[in-house]
Structures are given as C-alpha cells and as structure tokens.
Amino acid sequence: MAEGPRALRELRANHRVALELEVVEDSDAAEPEDWDLRYLERAVRAGVATPLRTIQGLVIDSENDRISGRLEAVAADLDEQVQLHWLASARPWPEIARTLHRRPSIEALVELERLSAGIRRVACRLSREGL
C-alpha cells in the first residue's frame, strides 16, 4: 500500500454534488445559480444560505461540459431509471417497488428506451464533430 502525499493524489477523484439551498432573498445580490464556490462558502458562513439537502442524480455543468457529454449523461441516467422500472415491473421486489411509487406503462418504458437510444446517436455524432 502506497503512503504519503502521492498515495493521497492517487485516491482522489472528482465528484459532482448538487445542493438544495434555502437562501435569504436579496434583489441586489447575484442569483445563487451564478455563485462560485467561494461565494457559496461565504454565504453559508454568513447565514445567507443554508444547505437543506443533497440532490441525488445527474449533475450537469451546462457552461463547461461538451454537449455530447451532457447528452450521453442524460441517456445514461434515463437508461438507469428505465431499468429500475423494468425491474420493478418484472418481479415483486419490495425494495425497488417502494422507491418507484408511480410507474410508467410498458409502452412508455419502450418509448423511453427508444428516446435514450436516439439521444446516444446524437451524442455520438456531436462527439465526432468535436462538440
């Protein structure tokens, strides 16, 4: 097992996390969606913003991610949701069924699969175009 600063670098990875914040409204201040990390830290310390929860699911950086990457991420997220619904429909698995209170119809699941495949085709084309 590696030790020291090099080992720490090898274990680090970037993760995207979305937060839901309660923010004291100020018409003269920047919108929370426009805050950078430093501003967010200051707002939390000052009590202007209070983190309420982390949001589970896909986090897209619309300003920095390539459009092909964003579309691929959307397709992967959609595939995951469709797969969960198929599993919940196929067998009476209580754990899955409890998390999916309302389920789409079989026809809708098939259409969602087609949509995901279409999104992936467009993402692939855009990727080849460098986008």
Q: What is residue 85's predicted lDDT score, i.e. its pLDDT?
A: 82
Structure-block tokens of residue 125 = 């084309």
Angle between helices 106-128 and 67-90 (to 10 degrees): 160
126 token code pair: 């855009």
With a CB cutoff of 8 Å and minimum separation 6, the contacts of 119 are 71, 72, 74, 75, 78
pLDDT for the residue numbered 29: 82
Q: What is the pLDDT of residue 131?
A: 93
Helix (H, G, I), strand (E, B) or coil at 55: strand
Task: In whole angstroms, give the CA distance from residue 85 to residue 109.
Answer: 8
Q: What is the pTM of this model?
A: 0.65
Give the pLDDT confidence score for residue 21 in this predicted structure.
94
Contact 88, 97 (CB under 8 A): yes
Residue 78: alpha-carbon gap to chain centroid = 11
Residue 62, C-beta contacts closer than 8 angstroms, at least 6 positions apart: 70
22-34 residue pLDDT tens = 999 887 888 888 8
- Compute the CA torsion angle 66, 69, 70, 72 (nearest 10 deg): 160
What does each of the 131 residues of the chain score in pLDDT, given as a tens digit?
556 666 666 777 788 889 999 999 887 888 888 899 999 999 999 999 999 999 988 888 888 889 999 999 999 999 998 998 887 776 665 665 566 567 788 899 999 999 999 999 999 999 999 99
If you ran DSSP here, which 8-state letter would residue 28 be given?
A: T
